[in-house]
Structure 1
Amino acid sequence: MKRIILICIGILIGIISYSQSLSSLQNINVDNLSEAQIGQLKQQMQVQGVSVNQIDQYAAAKGASQEQAQKLKARIVQYSGHEVKPGNRYPESDNEFNMAGDEAQNGFEPDQWKRDSVRAAKPKVFGTSIFKNAAMSFEPNLRLATPQDYVLGPDDEVLIDITGLSEASHKLYVSPEGNIRIPLVGVVNVSGLTIAEARRVIKNRMTSTYKGLASGNTSVSINLGNIRSITVHVIGEVAHPGSFTIPSLATVFNALYQSGGPKETGSFRDIQVIRNNSVIRTLDLYDFLVYGKQHDFRLQDQDVIKVLPYKNRVTLTGEVKTPAIFEMKKGETLQDLITFAGGFTEKAYRESITGYRNTLKERSVVSISNGDFKSFQTEPGDEYTVGKLLNRFVNRVQIAGAVYRPGVYALKEGMKAKDLIQLAEGLKEDAFANSAVIFRKNNVGITEVASFSPKEVLNGQNDIMLQREDSIYIGSVLDMKESDFVYISGEVMKPNKYPFGEGMTLKDIILLANGFKNRANVGEIEVYRQITDVKTLNENVTKAESFKIKMSSDLESGEAATFKLKREDRVVVRPIFGAEDMKEVTIEGEVIAPGNYVLTSKKQRISDLLGQAGGLSAYAYPQGAFLTRQHKKEAVDQKAMEVIKKDAALKVKSKTNAIDSMLVEKQDAMTSDIVDIRLEKIMKHPGSKYDLQLEEGDVLSIPKQLETVNVSGEVLRSASVRYQSGRSLGYYIANAGGFSAKALAGKTYVVYPNGSVDATSHFLGFRVYPKVKPGASIVVPLKPEKKGMSTAETIGLTSSIVSMAALIVTLIKAL
């Protein structure tokens, strides 16, 4: 216990000393800090309200050197999951970090803040997004040539290079007193001097030491090296007011970006720069946001940037390129507001703009026409909406149908239907020139239809004056009739329907069908034709007539060459009587020559096939032979399957008291494609009722001598038992362990190798089991579960008996 207390005290002392060490950063080495220590420092700064952009100032105040302060800022930024870039303003919180990260992935484009405003459902203040984009930075350009009006101050680096008779190079820093010490020359005061003035002073002082400067044998170059940092104060309506350390070449934009820019209530157009308690410059950010103009005004140490509250904001939405809330100055007009928004979109209604204005008690509506945009003065709180062009045309007419160039055309003064047809390059050959339709809207916009004759119009007769939105449709004679086809089927290579043409003969459609097949009966081709005569249809029940035409297979002779077809004729080419494809059957197993054989007669039987195969081999087991017949999956075959099921069930029923549905289901799987045959009787009596006629696809299987009997179902163990002649079914059941407790022994049945089934029968209360043959399968069914009466059924039956007994007693008493 004491050991645990000592360990806890040690941990507590460590934490306290660790926290105290972080509270003072005087001797800190950022490279040696762990991630946990960086996280704790970040948390401490957040508690004290120190933003990420103020970390270097905070660290310097705690005693850290400038180098360590910059390293600490970079480590904290990296710890927050952001990329370190010089001059960037970093988000001030974790939420802002996440938001900035998402924006940074999308990249920055020059008009990013404009598209941000468009995406938003509610208009945003124009320009705010530029200061929230972490991917964008406003850092001063430190690689430009030294400005001649740059004023030197403490910590500036002055580079002096002497060449000629004397060679020397010096890097000198301006001291806090404004002096630099030049070797061999002495102290020179440059504080408050521009770089141009400093060059003259330094060169004059060096002339007494370097005599060659006067004669020109020696030259000196004086330039600005590393520049100093200055501290500026950003106050007023900004996101993060405070003091910021920035390079001395930085501008107002750099300082504003570091502070997060103006907030919701801040002005973008009234930003003051205060120096020595006096306002020396007022900046308007719209000069940069709208026109891209940059101010070269340079800040000095201890300058104050003050963002004042906005005075006049108006909203512009609708069909402008940048819908947003804009800040307006006195004297600016609605046209200026449109310019700030990037101008109208392509679909903008520019004739007038509707506005909503606040009064002392309520709101009012103002409408400004296009001619007043440049003079109309906006007021605080105004809301303007630019409408969208109507989806209508002032001069549109259309033409469609059987013309060469259907489409939309411009309506001209005095334009008529003939002019529009000619603009569409005239009528096609298939145009129905006797009549066309013109669609026209009346005064209330309801479509009306009128007809005219294009033929007459083109001849200068009865022409029609066109109106706005008129639409002309000229029909085609090809569209006014049904599709014309003739049909051919039967013994041709490509039976199908083919387009009909005037003058088409029977020979033509046979050629289109790629000619006859080998079995085609070309001596009698039938053509069926629909009767269309009204009188004949009314007087006769016959609706079609037929023609029989003879033709040679080479299409050179016969009536087909001259027999004219009509639309919708049906041509049928029938096969030669009795012609069929050759059909094959298969015999396999224990025969002399197993394999496939072609049926040479429709009456060919099993005995014939057996004779063709050379008869049985010495190992054949004829009692196990069976015939497999292929069934097509059609409705007729489904009925045949049902018949097979019923036959199997009847065989069981003839020797048992009831039909076992499970037995039928098992039997169905074995006999669905197997035909029960008696090969021994077929061989003894060829052509008898046992000798079946063969069909295409039949397979006759002759197994070899079988020596086992399979026992399955409700026995203790399914087994294959060696066949022994003279043994009963009970012997094989016993070799499988006997019946199980759930066995329905009275319905045991045997499936023989040839597919036939025999079930257990009963005589005078005794079971008579079927005979067992080699290769047979003995199946013991499952006894059905007996369901007892429920409580409700018992009560119902008892109530019925009691009621019946009471009724009988009443009747007896009445007698």
Structure 2
Amino acid sequence: MRNNKVIQNIDLYDFILNGFLPKFNFKDNDVILVERQKATVVVSGSVRAPFRFEFKDEQTSGEELSKFALPLAKVSHVGIVGDRNHGPFSVYLPFNEFKEFTLQDGDRLIFNDDIRAQIIDIQVAGSYLGPSYFAVHKNTRLHDLLAHIKIDKELADYESIYIQRKSVAKQQKEMIDQALDRLERTIFTSPASSDGEAKIRAEEGKMILEFTKRARQAVPLGKVIISDQGKVANIRLEQGDVIYIPPKTDLIQVAGEVLMPQALVYNPQASIEDYIAWAGGYSERANYDEILVIHANGMIDVDASGTLKPGDQVLVLPKVDTKVLQAVKDITQILYQIAIAANVVN
């Protein structure tokens, strides 16, 4: 305003939406008058622009608002909460009906995806022929899909199939993190009866923090064991499942606390101790009593006296020094969880 007259009207929405800003030169004593905010609605949910929006008029349509809120393609319904002359109200409309709905000042909107996908994506890995991805109905069971997966029986260990499932991996990760949290609380809340014991606890705490830091880096595989002695369970598949068909192999993997982790040719006459000896023997940190055998189907055998099969993994767990750490039992349990969930021992 200049000399009490309107010289220029500027709508900043032209700039916000389209980048257009008119050229204007100010003079001394000019006044910039920002008008009072008009009717507004608040938008949240599955939209690209979850903001508060202002109307040009006292009301607007759902279709007009959608141009600015930019709903995602998956949106199926819109919830509306507000007030009218008859009092508070709340409605839940299909998106097509929402376009014709009249919005007023103070309405609150949430855009939802309430139509669940009827098709899920399944991946196949390992030894197989044909496509690696399948789009199937959400109620499909494993046997129904296996009938469409081609394999070479000479190359695929089809009796040791297992599934890698995201929801299981998430649960395994949560259990490991919870165990680590309990371990940290136990160490840092234990009382000390003397200055000497306090110093020992402080050093112990540093080692525990280093251990938990590395342990949290383990990434669980989310294995679902579905096969045993040639029988495969007919479970319902979930979105993102990976059906793993192990390849047939003549090797035994030896890892963990051995001097030279490596793959060795299967020998039906050899024992677990023989394979560990061929891998250079135990390392200085090895726990002779904590040896896991991970079979091709994902099953875990904690009995080192059992027999091995081609494709098995021998995993030697590390030893926790009882002279240094008091929480040996907790640490050993966590090592088991990590070894089983992720097939790794750092």
TM-score range, shorter chain: 0.3 to 0.5
Rg: which structure is higher? 1
TM-score normalized by structure 2?
Answer: 0.40
